[in-house]
Amino acid sequence: MKTRKVGLGHVGAHVAYSLAVQGIADELVLVDSNEKKVESECQDLRDSVAYLPHRVTVNIGTYEDLGDCDVIVNSIGKIEILRANQDRTDEMKFTVPAVNSYVGRVKASGFDGVVVNITNPCDVVTQQLAKGLGLPRGRVFGTGTGLDTSRLLSALARQTGIDHKSITAYMLGEHGNQQFAAWSNVSFRGKSLEEWAKTDERFRFDRDALQKESIRGGWVTFSGKYCTEYGIATTAARMVSIVLHDEKQIMPASAELCGEYGEKDVFVGVPCVIGKNGVEEVVELSLNEREKEELKARLHMLKGVETCKKCGAEIKKGTKFCQWCGEPVEQKIKNTGAEIVSYGAPVLPGAMFLLSYYNGNIPIIGLPGCVMYAKRTIFDLALPRIMADDEISVEELAALGEGGLCLNCPVCTFPNCGFGK
């Protein structure tokens, strides 16, 4: 059983060691663009082999050597990026181009095994690898919320005193800040959390606080040593073991949805049956209505879409208006409590002008891009009245449909012209 490690940072090196010390792989081939780093890690692992309980061969390889391996663990990354802002999506600016630089070489090698991805943002990069390699569905999956679920199990064990292995619980969603615990599916020794809570105060804990603790666990680790190692290494090694031994075990992973949970064309952390072919089945939990909405919201974030607040239609992020009902999508000004007078005006330049009033008399306006380059716009018509505290009504804006076209005269004589009159 041959396993290749692509990328050898803190996490990659620990995964390689975990695979070796547990005897999961007979042969490890290390691949990294940093030749000095990969050589040092290879030597260090070789130095440990004599005292391991299993025989393990450790070598250095290239991307072209990946064709005959059983499993690739992708763990390229640049952990320093997270020091400024604890958001795994920030790593995308490095990891996505990095993966693009070698995924074609891996495909050209003839690789036909299973890929376990660790690289963040895990769900995004896993989907990127799946598309680039073109392998059958399930052959490429990510650690996803596998580690987050381990953190949840650990927190539940400390809270209740029940051993981790006697607890069933899952974190769902993005491997990042946008994930949640499926409390309706939590059980201890085969009995639901709700049943335990009826008779035992240990189970009447603050669920939101415990969920937050599980999500923040990685950052607690990161804050002290600027990396995470043991937890993610053990998670990835366990997944490799399940694949190599075809265990058909249920474990949370970043997997492709093809109709499950009512979604498709997105990778997200959900419970899966893992075997020799990777993710062989996505397990659909019976979620309550609140959990269904939470999962939907997180999936929309990963897909780059959102839900229209008026009609409920799915629309792409960045869209100004819902294509189904015409409702303005950008609600940030409205969320302040301001009353929107109008989003749009029959004026050129300036058709996308937004006017609102906060607390009845404080104007909040949204200016279209034309104000940065056009000589005269809707802003020139509205600003004098705004500065004079003369409230503008939607009817007055509508009346600008007559005279609201700036003719862009060679010699501008505004306001001594017909613009806005």
pLDDT digit string (tens) for 351-400?
989 999 988 789 999 898 888 888 899 999 999 999 999 999 999 999 99
3-state secondary structure of 369: helix
Within this chain, do residues 258 and 123 fall inside the same structural domain, yes or no?
A: yes
Within this chain, do residues 269 and 347 fall inside the same structural domain, yes or no?
A: no
- The predicted structure's pLDDT at residue 229: 84
Within this chain, do residues 259 and 136 fall inside the same structural domain, yes or no?
A: yes
Within this chain, do residues 12 and 68 fall inside the same structural domain, yes or no?
A: yes
Domain count, the chain: 2
Is the pTM above the cut of 0.85?
Answer: no
Within this chain, do residues 385 and 276 fall inside the same structural domain, yes or no?
A: no
- To the nearest whole number, what is the mean pLDDT of the chain? 88
Residue 157's contacts (CB-CB under 8 Å, 6 or more residues apart) are: 163, 164, 167
**Structural domain containing residue 354:** 330-401
| Lowest-confidence pick of 118-122, 163-167, 169-173, 251-255 | 118-122
- The predicted structure's pLDDT at residue 313: 63
Arithmetic mean of pLDDT, 35-52? 93
Within this chain, do residues 131 and 262 fall inside the same structural domain, yes or no?
A: yes
Whether residue 291 lies inside any domain: the answer is no
Within this chain, do residues 123 and 12 fall inside the same structural domain, yes or no?
A: yes
Within this chain, do residues 241 and 386 fall inside the same structural domain, yes or no?
A: no
Among 6-15, 284-293, 360-369, the range of highest mean pLDDT: 284-293
175 is catalytic: yes
- The predicted structure's pLDDT at residue 7: 46
Within this chain, do residues 238 and 385 fall inside the same structural domain, yes or no?
A: no
Residues 10, 175, 245, 300: which is the catalytic one? Answer: 175
- The predicted structure's pLDDT at residue 92: 77
Residue 12's pLDDT band, with cuts at 50, 70 and 90, is confident
Whether residue 394 lies inside any domain: the answer is yes
Whether residue 310 lies inside any domain: the answer is no
Whether residue 377 lies inside any domain: the answer is yes
Whether residue 406 lies inside any domain: the answer is no
Query: Is 219's pLDDT higher than 80?
Result: no
Whether residue 215 lies inside any domain: the answer is no
Within this chain, do residues 264 and 389 fall inside the same structural domain, yes or no?
A: no
- Rounded Cα distance, 291 and 296, in Å: 8
Whether residue 311 lies inside any domain: the answer is no
Query: Is 3's pLDDT higher than 60?
Result: no
Query: Is 326's pLDDT higher than 90?
Result: no
- Rounded Cα distance, 415 and 259, in Å: 59
Higher pLDDT, 223 or 285: 285
Give the CATH number of the domain where residue 126 resides.
Answer: 3.40.50.720
Task: Encode pLDDT of 60-105 as tens digits.
Answer: 999 998 898 999 999 987 766 666 555 666 777 888 899 999 999 9
- Rounded Cα distance, 258 and 206, in Å: 34
- The predicted structure's pLDDT at residue 178: 79
Within this chain, do residues 29 and 139 fall inside the same structural domain, yes or no?
A: yes
Within this chain, do residues 278 and 334 fall inside the same structural domain, yes or no?
A: no
- Rounded Cα distance, 156 and 207, in Å: 10
Higher pLDDT, 292 or 11: 292
Query: How far, in Å, are 299, 300, 315 from residue 310 at the CA level?
Result: 20, 17, 12
Task: Encode pLDDT of 158-190 as tens digits.
Answer: 999 999 999 999 999 988 877 999 999 999 999
Whether residue 99 lies inside any domain: the answer is yes
Higher pLDDT, 84 or 28: 28
